[in-house]
């Protein structure tokens, strides 16, 4: 089996109802609008939707290839460190509608939760299942288009001010809890609102949001209510920081940080996991008790990732994790990019333009266009990229 060359990828598309019918088809050169919303393009070896690679004229599942040739594909260090598993999952995400408010577990929580639900006999595909695997899910999101998101708690003084501006009557007790006891008891009280009390709080919020709709915070409350009428999650813009990312800007989401993607197209890179605990803006399973166990209840200031230049053509988006690193390569006519000699496995996707991959040692080459993606096995010799293209690359830091 010849693995000393780039291998074309065929990737699975997840058709969730919040997805776009135009964004991913446009990138992949498929007919648009698509019949169903295309929400995520998965590039990786997650058992839920593994990519396939083209080898000798046939398509082979990436997880099977890695199982057969772990060191050649991943690299010796990565294969040893991550038990012969690809440690990341690479995605294109296209949000036309808001996603659920959610958080992801850390490694210990994921292992304990997965084993606990197995002992309870909850099937992996059950709607009430929280833990689909034993892995944590820190992630980076880098905007391709303007991207709106909610991430991390505002400071308490700010939340109190916004609540007193919009729900001074219906949530008087909850505001006092926040001022006296802090974020966790307050958030628990909000998530457990029921019946008439919940209806009154939402009605008061919507009434005052109409009066304050020129403020982006309350404008977003009204937008969220259109998608999820009378869902407790419409309070989230008052509680969480609002982010607006311009193309090329990125954020990092650690385990336990409450967040929600609102609208936009982006590149997403994460540890190889599909564990999600939801807390609103969803018709799916919400487990408030478990969510309260994994969320980190601390205020976090708005902070975007500052990319680090690696030469004139490549930037790296730093993240405090060992499973993945996100790189962006911007080629223009007359420029070229030379890879490192010693590197781990890489997955690349071309988002704009055309690129040629040359392998000087073997005199091989491959041409890629917008929407094409490839696996670069670790065993492949040093390569050169040339053309006029924007490429995003996922790899494992050595």
Q: Which domain holds residue 214?
A: 156-233
Strand partners, 363: none
180 and 205 inside one domain: yes
Strand partners, 305: 250
How many whole angstroms separate alpha carbon 342 and alpha carbon 266?
A: 29
- Of 253, 248, 250, 252, nearest to 329 by C-alpha is 248
Name the pTM for this structure.
0.94
The verdict on whether 278 is a catalytic residue reads: yes
Whether 380 is covered by a domain: the verdict is yes
- CATH of residue 332's domain is 2.60.120.10
State the total domains in the chain. Answer: 3
- CA angle at 187 for the pair 218 and 298, rounded to the nearest 5°: 95
How many whole angstroms separate alpha carbon 38 and alpha carbon 32?
A: 11
Whether 92 is covered by a domain: the verdict is yes
Written as tens digits, the pLDDT of the chain (398 aa) is 889 999 999 999 999 999 999 999 999 999 999 999 999 999 999 988 999 999 988 999 999 999 999 999 999 999 999 999 999 999 999 999 999 999 999 999 999 999 999 999 999 888 889 998 888 999 999 999 999 999 999 999 999 999 999 999 999 999 999 999 999 999 999 999 999 999 999 999 999 999 999 999 999 999 999 999 999 999 999 999 999 999 999 999 999 999 999 999 999 999 998 888 999 998 888 889 999 999 999 999 889 999 999 988 999 999 999 999 999 999 999 899 999 989 999 999 999 999 999 999 888 899 999 999 999 999 999 999 999 999 999 999 98
Looking up tokens 């409450």 gives 258
- The greatest distance separating any two alpha carbons of the chain, rounded to the nearest whole angstrom, comes to 73
Whether 239 is covered by a domain: the verdict is no
Strand partners, 316: 308, 327
262 and 319 inside one domain: no
Query: For the CA atoms of the chain, what is the radius of gyration?
Result: 22
Q: Where are the alpha helices (DSSP H) in the chain?
A: 23-28, 62-68, 70-74, 76-81, 107-119, 156-166, 172-181, 183-191, 195-211, 216-227, 236-239, 288-294
How many whole angstroms separate alpha carbon 302 and alpha carbon 153?
A: 9
205 and 259 inside one domain: no
Q: Which among 278, 332, 364, 370 is annotated as catalytic?
A: 278
77 and 223 inside one domain: no
């Amino acid at each position: 089996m010849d693995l000393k060359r780039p291998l074309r990828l065929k990737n699975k598309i997840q058709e969730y109802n919040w997805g776009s019918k135009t964004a991913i088809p446009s990138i992949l050169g498929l007919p648009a609008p698509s019949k169903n919303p295309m929400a995520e393009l998965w590039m990786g070896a997650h058992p839920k939707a593994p990519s396939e690679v083209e080898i000798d004229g046939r398509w082979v599942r990436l997880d099977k290839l890695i199982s057969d040739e772990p060191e050649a594909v991943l690299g010796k260090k990565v294969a040893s460190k991550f038990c012969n598993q690809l440690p990341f999952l690479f995605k294109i995400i296209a949000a036309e509608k808001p996603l659920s408010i959610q958080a992801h577990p850390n490694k210990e929580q994921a292992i304990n939760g997965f084993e606990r639900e197995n002992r309870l006999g909850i099937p992996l595909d059950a709607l009430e299942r929280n833990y689909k695997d034993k892995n944590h899910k820190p992630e980076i999101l880098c905007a391709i288009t303007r991207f709106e998101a909610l991430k991390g708690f505002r400071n308490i003084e700010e939340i109190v001010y916004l609540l007193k501006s919009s729900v001074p009557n219906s949530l008087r007790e909850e505001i006092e809890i926040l001022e006296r006891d802090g974020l966790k008891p307050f958030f628990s009280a909000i998530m457990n609102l029921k019946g008439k009390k919940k209806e009154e709080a939402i009605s008061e919020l919507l009434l005052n949001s109409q009066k304050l709709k020129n403020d982006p915070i309350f404008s977003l409350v009204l937008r969220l209510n259109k998608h999820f009428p009378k869902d407790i999650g419409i309070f989230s813009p008052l509680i969480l920081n609002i982010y607006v990312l311009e193309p090329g800007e990125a954020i990092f989401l650690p385990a336990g940080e409450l967040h929600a993607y609102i609208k936009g197209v982006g590149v997403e890179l994460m540890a190889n996991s599909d564990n999600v605990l939801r807390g609103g803006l969803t018709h799916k399973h919400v487990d408030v008790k478990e969510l309260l166990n994994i969320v980190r209840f601390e205020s976090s200031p708005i902070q975007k990732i500052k990319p680090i230049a690696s030469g004139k053509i490549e930037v790296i988006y730093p993240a405090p994790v060992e499973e993945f690193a996100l790189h962006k390569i911007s080629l223009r006519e007359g420029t070229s990019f030379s890879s490192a000699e010693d590197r781990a496995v890489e997955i690349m996707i071309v988002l704009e333009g055309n690129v040629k991959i040359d392998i000087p040692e073997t005199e091989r080459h491959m041409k890629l266009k917008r929407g094409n993606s490839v696996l670069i096995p670790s065993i492949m010799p040093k390569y050169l990229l040339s053309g006029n293209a924007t490429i995003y690359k996922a790899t494992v830091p050595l």
